[in-house]
Amino acid sequence: MKIERQKNLCYAARETLETKIKLWLIGDGKGDLTGTSRIGFLDHMLKTFCGFSTLSLNVQQFEADFEVDMHHAVEDLALVLGTAFRELLDYSRTKRFGHAIVPMDEALTMCSVDLSGRGFLNFQVSFETQSIGDFPVELIEEFFRTFSSSARITLHIVKLFGRNSHHIAESIFKAFAIAVRNAIERVESVQSTKGVID
């Protein structure tokens, strides 16, 4: 993977036989999404994440083996995005912890994040359908599992209530984004009794 970091932005690019992804993650406080993953529902969730986290994402190039399915596309985007997230942010100068409980109509989701330098996901979510439109709901967990691993963050996502799969997914991404926005707030001292976050 190719990584280029500047003051307030990170470029990440990865090319395999399955996907070709180039993106910029920008800590500008604007929360804009430009470009496309070519997956309508995923773009909707990415726009939600950007808007509520205040991080901007520019998907410069996105190619994938869609003739197979969406799995490689979603997983590899999460890998590249998570790596850019880790490279953009100095975890040792962040508030580190963030959490949110967010409703979307009848759906209610809790998300807690720790910019710990250790990748872990606890995903306690059930969906009422197998897909949202043509998007398999199982890929939502895969997205967060890959993101948390590549970003090296600890992430807990728990559905408290919900029946409509679209509402559940949207409450997940909103809760995640708000938790991230809280966690990346800048502080002067390292938020660890060890004195370091690797």
Q: Where are the domains of the chain?
A: 2-183
Contacts with 195 (C-beta within 8 Å, 6 or more apart), sequence order? none
Angle between helices 40-53 and 165-183 (to 10 degrees): 30
Fold of 2-183: Ribosomal Protein S5; domain 2 (3.30.230)
Count of helices and strands (H, E) across the chain: 4, 11
Residue 193: per-residue pLDDT: 63
Structure confidence by residue, pLDDT tens digits, 163-181:
999 999 999 999 999 999 9
What pTM did the predictor assign? Answer: 0.95
Residue 195 pLDDT > 90, yes or no?
no
Partnered with residue 10 across adjacent β-strands are 5, 25
pLDDT beyond 70 at 197: no
Burial tier of 195 (Cβ tally within 10 Å: 0-12, 13-18, 19+): exposed
E strand spans, 27-132: 33-35, 56-64, 97-104, 107-114, 120-124, 131-132
Lowest mean pLDDT among 57-61, 72-76, 93-97, 188-192: 188-192
Mean pLDDT of 1-28: 96
Average pLDDT over residues 128-155: 98
The answer to whether 41 and 170 have CB atoms below 8 angstroms apart is no
Q: What is the CA radius of gyration of the chain?
A: 16
pLDDT in tens, 94-113: 999 999 999 999 999 999 99
**Residue written as tokens 């060890």?**
194
Q: What is the pLDDT of residues 32-47, one digit of tens each?
A: 999 999 999 999 999 9
